[in-house]
Amino acid sequence: MAQGVQTDVVSAWDLGWKDYVREMLARTPELASRREGRGGVTPLHEAVRRDDIELARGVLAADPDLDVPDGEFHSTPLGWARHMEREDIARLIERQG
């Protein structure tokens, strides 16, 4: 941040910059749908993997494209949530969609 380098949503979240993540997504909502890292996952896929409902809520507030599949299994975040039995996150995604 201080050097002008923009980090991705999940990395910023991991650093504890939750308010910054919310600001970043408010300024650039398309970041919520961007596939990153190994497996080409969106921040919402990562929230499902981690069972992190707070991250899921933050990402969903940016109104991401819920139909973006990951790059490895070609499944949406909702597909992941159902497969991994993340019922609370699945309900959030279903309400959003």
Give the sign of the dihedral formed by CA 87, CA 88, CA 89, CA 93: positive
What are the mean pLDDT values of the chain's consecutive 10-residue runs (97 residues total)? 73 96 96 94 98 98 97 97 98 95
What integer pLDDT is reported at residue 38 of this predicted model?
86
Q: Report the pLDDT value the prediction gives residue 4, as an integer from 0 to 100.
A: 63
pLDDT of residue 37: 87
**Can you tell me whether residue 15 is helix, strand or coil?**
coil
> pTM for the whole thing?
0.91
The domains of the chain, with CATH numbers, are: 9-96 (1.25.40.20)
Buried b (16+ CB within 10 A) or exposed e, 32-68: bbbebeeebbbbbbbbbbbebeebbebbbebebebeb
- Sign for the CA dihedral angle at 93, 41, 72, 87 comes to negative
Q: How far apart are CA 19 and CA 13, in angstroms?
A: 9
